[in-house]
Structures are given as C-alpha cells and as structure tokens.
Chains A and B, each alone.
Chain A
C-alpha cells in the first residue's frame, strides 16, 4: 500500500502543479511579453547609453495596471517606483523594480516566482520617446513566467526536501547516541526488564509474538511513556531501540512483523498526554485558558489509538498480509 501512496503523493503534486500552470498559460495570467506603458524619469541629467547602470523612477497609473492584469481592485492615481536600470543601448535596459507595498499582489507573486533571489521584479524597459528634459515615455515588460508550478515542485519540493531529509537524519545522531547509550546502561542494570514486568499483562496481549521478558518490551514501554509525556527528543531514539529489538525476532528481513506494525501504529496515533508545544502556542497567542484543550485532546487521541490498534489487529489476520510473512 505504501507504494501506491508514495506514487499518489508525487503524482498528485505534479498534476496539481501542471494544471495550475496550464490554466495560468491559457488565461495568460502573467501577461507574458506584453508591455506596460510607463513614464521613466532619469534625474541629474543622466542620458541613456549602452553600459550605463543607473537608478531611475518609473511612474505608473495604478488603475491602468490593475486593468492590465484583469484585477478588480481599482485604485486611481499615479504611483512612482524606484527602478534599477542597466542600459544595453540608448533605448533598451534591463530593469529591476524593488518590491513596494503599493504593488498589485500579482507583482509580488511574480517577483517570488522569478529565478532571481533579490526582492525585485525583473524585466526590460524600452524607451519609446522623450517626453521632457528628464522624462521618457517607455514600456516595461516583466520577464515572462511559465510553468512556475513545476519549477516550485523541483526547487521547493524535490531539491529542498531531499536535503531536509539528510539534515533531519544528521541532526538525530547526537540525541540518538545519547539515548542509545542510556538505554544500554538501563539494560545492563536490569532496569528495562523490571519496567517491562510491571506492564506484562497489557504488553503480552498487545504483542503476543514477543516473549514477555524480551528487551523489546522494556524499550517499547519506555518509548510509549516518553511519548505520553511529550518528550519527543527521547521518544524517537527509544522507539528505534525498540524497533531494533523487535527486528531481532524478525524471521524475514525487510518485512514488518505483526508486533512492528502494532508498535508503529501506537506511535503514529500519538499517545500524548501533555501537548507542551500546542499549549505554548496557545499561551503566546493570549488564550484565557491555554490548557483547556488537554482533556478533549486526550479523548481524541485515545479514540485514535484504540481505532488504530483494532485496525492492525484485524488487518494482520488478512491472508494478503499473512502471506507476506512466509
């Protein structure tokens, strides 16, 4: 099933991106290659010439700009933005317009989607004619944008998440080493087995395939306790220790045992009793009673855990899943 969900997530993302891209292209949302009429002002007697890099100002009628993009918001009046120009001839220049609050939202969107990292809308300016001593009638054409959804999938989805995965794994090394060390000490001292014996009746029922005095039992109890207290830092290493112990009972490497699935579902359904992060967020947002959600949350999570355990216990009997163990 994981194979299909995995493929499903990837396909859903790509199809969604592609359909937005196509609809953007069809509706010509970004008005690619269409020039916007502006008035360009170059102060201090600067004359446009090839190779010149100057700051100027461009004046646009906001009402015209909104109509240009087919936007509703109509605001009357002229607006002046700074523009950084690099002239390639006396009429043409590469333009960068730093983001301003007055920009229509589509320009913010376009700035973000452009490949350049700076907070400026990139485009080109062509001078049409001289209007005054320092002013020119000109056309501003933002750099065209196509398939930005797919670009986002590549950059934000594939590339950045692949490295996030490694960052997460590397970040686990230290805390993992610490808890695996502590666990080893607890094991040698016989502490893990002692903890396990107290909860033997519940544990043997949940994990009938695991011998009652097996170290996996103790590790699982410690993991579940850490989860209940909301100690995520400790819970993961303890859970991985438990998985390692459960894997020692695994006759078929690479395939999950019944006990592993049950343990996993207990973990994924969250058995948290103290949601410290949620409470902290509520408190900082000024809640009158940040902890009021604890009881309903425990009810919800307990229902989820019971449903999850019931589901795995029923599902593990299905012939499809039994067959995979042989």
Chain B
C-alpha cells in the first residue's frame, strides 16, 4: 500500500505533463510556443493574489498571535467534549480552516506526543484530511480573479468545515473506538 501510494505521488506529475505534451504534439500543436504563451500569465496571477492574501493572512496572524485560539478553546471546549472530541484535538479543529501549515504543525505534534495509533493521533490524522484551509483557498482563488463580494461561499465553506470536523470525530470513534 505504502509503495503504491509512493509511486503514484512521484509519477503522477511527470506522467501527466509528458502525456499532455505528446498528445498535443501528435495533434500538431506548436507546444513550445503555446506553453510559453500560457505561462506568461503566471506572474500576473501571483501578483494579483497578493492584496487578498495579505488581508486574510494578517487577520489570521492576529487571531493566532493574540492567543484567541486558546480563549475560543475554553469557550467551546465543554461542547466539543460532549461529542467525544478530546480537548487536545480542539486547537487542530479551530486551526484547520484558518492555516494549513499551522494545522499540520499541531497535527504532527499530537501524533508524535500521543502516538500515531492512539485515539488522539488517529483523530488528528483523520481531521487533517477531512477538510481544507478554507480561508486561504478563498483568498487565493477569489483573489486571482479580483472577486471580493464572496456571496454564499463563506457560509457554504464553513458548513463543509464544520461537518468535516464533526464527521472526523464521529468516524474515528466508529472505526477505532
């Protein structure tokens, strides 16, 4: 299982690029010219994201640096414990939609201190994969096309996060409880 996954993760990108290039070349596409033409946009897209990313990351930075996460933890802690979420896992649940690297740090720390095969380690692992860094994705994706009125994307994304976190807790208990 591990080796199969390993091979997929290594081979997927080169295989995809080679496949597309050969396929296009056979169809008579001037691949080099077209590639360069498309790649030109890379810079503008990256630069266009900057203001959105700054706005989002600074807010998340203030939230984390000020210690609001610990404070939120003490407020919602009693509720989440009821559904079987260990208080140790709660920071991960709060951080998951806000910061990908932050959540990964917390998750790997939980896995290392409590052991990967403990309930906490398993719950943290499942939670890490159960949802994405909503606010980062939103800043980057919407920012790249200059969208700032996000309509129902935020409540929709947060619903997914909330359900993802809760199901991670319940499914882990179901599988390993």
Produce 1/0 per residue, B74-96, CB < 8 A to A: 00000000000000000000000
Produce 1/0 per residue, B113-141, CB < 8 A to A: 00111000110011111111110011011
Question: Given that A149-B66, A164-B57, A261-B152 are contacting pairs, would A16 and B71 also be in contact in the complex, using a CB cutoff of 8 Å?
Answer: yes
Assess the B157–A182 pair: CB atoms within 8 A. no
Produce 1/0 per residue, B151-164, CB < 8 A to A: 11111110111011
Partner of A300, one of B49, B57, B130, B141: B130
Interfacial chain B residues near A157, Cβ < 8 Å:
58, 61-66
Per the bound structure, the CA–CA distance linking A285 and B60 in Å amounts to 29
Per the bound structure, the CA–CA distance linking A177 and B36 in Å amounts to 8
Residue of B whose beta carbon sits closest to that of A192: B20
Assess the A169–B68 pair: CB atoms within 8 A. no
Assess the B159–A270 pair: CB atoms within 8 A. no
Residue of A whose beta carbon sits closest to that of B169: A300
Rounded to whole Å, the gap between the CB of A131 and the closest CB of chain B is 43
Interfacial chain B residues near A160, Cβ < 8 Å:
61
Per the bound structure, the CA–CA distance linking A153 and B13 in Å amounts to 40
Produce 1/0 per residue, B11-31, CB < 8 A to A: 011001100110110010101
Rounded to whole Å, the gap between the CB of A151 and the closest CB of chain B is 9
Interface residues of A in 286-315 (CB under 8 A from B): 286-293, 295-297, 299-301, 303-305, 307-308, 311-312, 315
Assess the A265–B128 pair: CB atoms within 8 A. no
A26 on interface, CB distance cutoff 8 Å: no
Per the bound structure, the CA–CA distance linking A264 and B155 in Å amounts to 12
Question: Given that A13-B66, A184-B34, A268-B132 are contacting pairs, would A285 and B121 also be in contact in the complex, using a CB cutoff of 8 Å?
Answer: yes
Question: Given that A300-B168, A304-B167 are contacting pairs, would A231 and B12 also be in contact in the complex, using a CB cutoff of 8 Å?
Answer: yes
Interface residues of A in 269-285 (CB under 8 A from B): 269-270, 272, 274-279, 281-283, 285
Helix, strand, loop or mixed for chain A's interface? helix
Rounded to whole Å, the gap between the CB of A208 and the closest CB of chain B is 16
Helix, strand, loop or mixed for chain B's interface? helix
Assess the A296–B66 pair: CB atoms within 8 A. no
Residue of A whose beta carbon sits closest to that of B140: A236
Assess the A177–B43 pair: CB atoms within 8 A. yes
A142 on interface, CB distance cutoff 8 Å: no
A78 on interface, CB distance cutoff 8 Å: no
A15 on interface, CB distance cutoff 8 Å: yes
A221 on interface, CB distance cutoff 8 Å: no
Of A69-77, A98-106, A316-324, the one touching chain B? A316-324
Interfacial chain B residues near A164, Cβ < 8 Å:
57, 61
Rounded to whole Å, the gap between the CB of A209 and the closest CB of chain B is 13
Produce 1/0 per residue, A141-157, CB < 8 A to B: 00000000100110111
Interfacial chain A residues near B60, Cβ < 8 Å:
9, 161
Of A38-46, A197-205, A238-246, the one touching chain B? A238-246
Rounded to whole Å, the gap between the CB of B112 and the closest CB of chain A is 5
Residue of A162, A255, A293 contacting most chain B CB atoms (<10 Å): A293
A36 on interface, CB distance cutoff 8 Å: no
Assess the B41–A6 pair: CB atoms within 8 A. no
Partner of B145, one of A149, A247, A300, A324: A247
7 closest A-B pairs by CB = A184-B38, A177-B42, A308-B160, A161-B61, A304-B164, A13-B66, A181-B39
24 example contacts (A-B, Cβ-Cβ < 8 A) are as follows A6-B59, A13-B66, A17-B67, A157-B65, A161-B57, A168-B57, A184-B34, A189-B29, A229-B8, A239-B141, A240-B141, A255-B149, A260-B145, A267-B141, A275-B128, A278-B125, A279-B2, A281-B104, A281-B116, A282-B116, A282-B125, A296-B172, A316-B152, A321-B151
Residues of A within 8 A of B (CB): 1-2, 5-6, 9-10, 12-20, 149, 152-153, 155-158, 160-162, 164-166, 168-170, 172-174, 176-178, 180-191, 229-231, 233-234, 236-237, 239-240, 243-244, 246-247, 250, 253-256, 260-265, 267-270, 272, 274-279, 281-283, 285-293, 295-297, 299-301, 303-305, 307-308, 311-312, 315-316, 318, 321, 324
